[in-house]
Structure formats: C-alpha cells, structure tokens
C-alpha cells in the first residue's frame, strides 16, 4: 500500500499503481481538497484495476481526521466514554463508527484504519485521547460497538496497534519504543481488547512498531512470534494484517525498505504500508521478495468497501441526520496539530 503526492494521479504514480505487487493506496490530508475532488480521485484509482485497489485513510476523529471540509467533525474516541451511562457511551460509539464509515464510503474510500484498541491515559501522548478508555473492559465494549457501526455502514474495521501501544511513552513515528513488561502483564491488560474484538469478528488488524523484549527482540509487526504464534494460532485471528508504516522510526531497526517489507511479510503481514517515501516504495517493488497466495488475496478482498450512495445523497437520509446530530455535540477542537503525514 503506497501513497500519492497530490490531488490527482500523476503519470508515474499511475504506472506504479499498475504494478502487480501494489494492492492499495493510503490517502492523507495533502490528497484532499473537497469531497467532490477526493471522490474523483478514488474513482480514478478504483477504475485502474479489477479487483480494484484498496483505498485507505486514517480517519479516527479528534486529532486524527484527514478529511474535514464537507465531512462531519468527529469527536476523539475518548470523548465517547464521558457519557453518563455505559449504555449511552456504547450507543454513541456505534453511531460514531457508522458516521465515520458511511461518509468515507460515500466518496469511495474502502476502509479507515480504525478503531484504536490501545490503552488510553497519560503514558503515551501519541495515543492519548485516540483510545476509548484506560480500562480494557471499557475499550473492548466501546470498540465492539464502534465496529458494529462500521459494519452496518459497509466498512471492515482494522483494530490497532497490536498488542498495544498505549503503555509506552515513546512514539514509534520518531523513536523505537520498548515495552519491558512481562508477557503475562501485557496479556492481562493490553491484549484484552484485541482478544475480545477477534472473538467478535474483527476483520483487520495493524501491529505496533514496538519491541516487547520479554517476547521477541523484533518489533511486533516484524515478529513471527507475535503475528503467527500468538495472533494467528493462540488468538485464532483469521483476518487481514496490515503493517504500520515502514517509514516510521520504529521500523528502521529492520534494515532498508525492501528488508523491512520482506521481514513484515514473512512474519505474517498480508500488506505493508510504505508512506511518504516514494523511492522507498519503489525499492520494495523492485527488490523485495513478495509472497503471493490465494489465501492472502481472499483476505484482502474481504476488506473492500460497499458503496451505494454519494455524500450528498447520504446527507439527505434521515439516518445520517439523526446520527450526525447525536455524535457531533461531543466534538471538541483538536488539542494539537498532528501534521499531514503522521499517525497510523
């Protein structure tokens, strides 16, 4: 999965997207000008190939929302837990998941890398209010409701960042985080939402560029122990595994771009993200040994979105009007600017 420079496809990007090992595109704020423009961009990408390339975006709400003008300004997930009752919080989470997914599908985006399943709180600033709660039970329940809303809209959920990024202070975009807790401690806290979401049918997952030395000296997204032994075999996850961005600092320990891609794919990832470094993405296509299998392709096909309305048509529906009114009163101004190209 690669990215684009601007508001429309350029000739060299079109050629790159036709490469048989490219399976998707991730969009950023620099790719967005208006709902009409981004819908046209998505159509031009989808029209290139059959089955069409996946189009993804980070569109969680709060600090992390790539498209704003013409889209609902979604609240940070932590705000959903501040309701008076658990039942109300779960209802709002479900409506927020639907609203986010429905609006993206209406412009042709297949999936948002959401929901965040990490632990909230003050340990990790990069997670912070992107997480639903500080308690794994509440994270599990709210995330499950959010996933139900996404599924109703026609979008597959991608939980992140397995097995949990919220308990380390370092930001894997700019550092190599180490979580030195024992596996049993991670299992009794951070892993709980992932395990419960998998049991509830989570379609996709993104691992963290965090090293858990009690388990493996490799970051989780490059670790067969985490992805094959624990995630696939122990937790019985059957869905799609997307790597986090290979351009992040937390991935540099694995070598150059082709080496990072090979390590992630051989560890168990189905698709790797190479963002904000086109030369790195091209080097993966030119040099990396990329496995191909029918099982992998079938998992990726299940991540395609279901499109039936454009954004104007969606906003005319009573369902959109009711759910946007319910969710948007929670919206607050983002606490900090995360920039254009950060934070999967």
Q: What is residue 39's three-state secondary structure? A: helix
The answer to whether 329 is a known catalytic residue is no
pLDDT at residue 335, rounded to an integer: 40
pLDDT at residue 116, rounded to an integer: 97
Helices (H), 200-272: 224, 257-267
Strand partners, 178: 211
Strand partners, 25: 2, 55
The answer to whether 173 is a known catalytic residue is yes
> Domains in the chain, ordered, with CATH?
11-41+70-328 (3.20.20.300)
Helices (H), the chain: 11-17, 35-46, 77-80, 86-105, 136-153, 183-187, 191-199, 224, 257-267, 278-287, 294-301, 311-315, 318-328
Nearest to 167 by CA among 184, 154, 185: 185
**Tokens 């399976």, residue?**
23
> Among the options 59, 165, 173, 304, which is catalytic?
173
Could you give the CA distance from residue 300 to residue 293 in angstroms, rounded to a whole number? 11
Which mean pLDDT values do the consecutive 10-residue runs of the chain (344 residues) have? 97 96 97 98 97 96 94 92 86 96 98 96 90 95 98 98 94 90 97 98 97 97 98 97 95 96 96 95 95 84 94 97 89 43 54
> From residue 257, how far is each of 114, 260, 268, 296, 342 by CA, in Å?
25, 5, 17, 21, 18
pLDDT at residue 221, rounded to an integer: 97
Could you give the CA distance from residue 324 to residue 55 in angstroms, rounded to a whole number? 24
> Among the options 118, 244, 270, 341, which is catalytic?
244
- Residue 292 neighbours by CB distance under 10 Å: 8
Nearest to 104 by CA among 151, 53, 47, 39: 39
pLDDT at residue 172, rounded to an integer: 85
Q: What's this model's pTM, rounded to 2 decimal places? A: 0.94
Strand partners, 160: 116, 206
């Amino acid at each position: 999965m690669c990215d684009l420079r601007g508001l429309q496809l350029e000739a060299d990007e079109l050629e790159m997207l036709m490469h048989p090992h490219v399976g998707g595109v991730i969009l950023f704020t620099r790719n967005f000008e208006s709902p009409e423009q981004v819908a046209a961009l998505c159509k031009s990408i989808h029209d290139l190939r059959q089955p069409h390339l996946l189009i993804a975006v980070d569109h969680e709400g709060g600090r992390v929302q790539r498209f704003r003008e013409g889209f609902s300004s979604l609240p940070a997930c932590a705000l959903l837990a501040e309701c008076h009752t658990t039942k109300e919080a779960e209802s709002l989470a479900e409506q927020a998941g639907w609203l986010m997914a429905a609006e993206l599908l209406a412009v042709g985006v297949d999936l948002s890398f959401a929901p965040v399943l990490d632990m909230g709180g003050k340990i990790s600033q990069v997670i912070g209010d992107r997480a639903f709660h500080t308690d794994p039970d509440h994270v599990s329940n709210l995330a499950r409701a959010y996933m139900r809303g996404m599924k109703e809209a026609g979008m597959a959920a991608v939980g992140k960042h397995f097995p949990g990024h919220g308990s380390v202070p370092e930001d894997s975009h700019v550092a190599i985080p180490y979580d030195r807790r024992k596996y049993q401690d991670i299992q009794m806290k951070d892993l709980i939402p992932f395990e419960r979401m998998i049991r509830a049918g989570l379609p996709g997952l993104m691992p963290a560029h965090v090293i858990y030395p009690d388990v493996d000296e490799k970051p989780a997204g490059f670790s067969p122990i985490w992805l094959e032994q624990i995630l696939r075999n122990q937790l019985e996850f059957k869905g799609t595994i997307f790597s986090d961005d290979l351009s992040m600092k937390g991935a540099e320990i694995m070598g150059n771009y082709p080496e990072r891609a090979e390590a992630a794919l051989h560890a168990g990832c189905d698709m790797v993200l190479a963002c904000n470094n086109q030369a790195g993405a091209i080097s993966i296509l030119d040099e990396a040994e990329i496995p191909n299998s029918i099982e992998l392709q079938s998992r990726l096909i299940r991540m395609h979105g279901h499109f039936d309305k454009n954004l104007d048509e969606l906003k005319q529906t009573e369902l959109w009007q009711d759910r946007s009114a319910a969710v948007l009163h929670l919206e607050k101004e983002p606490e900090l600017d995360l920039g254009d190209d950060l934070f999967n």
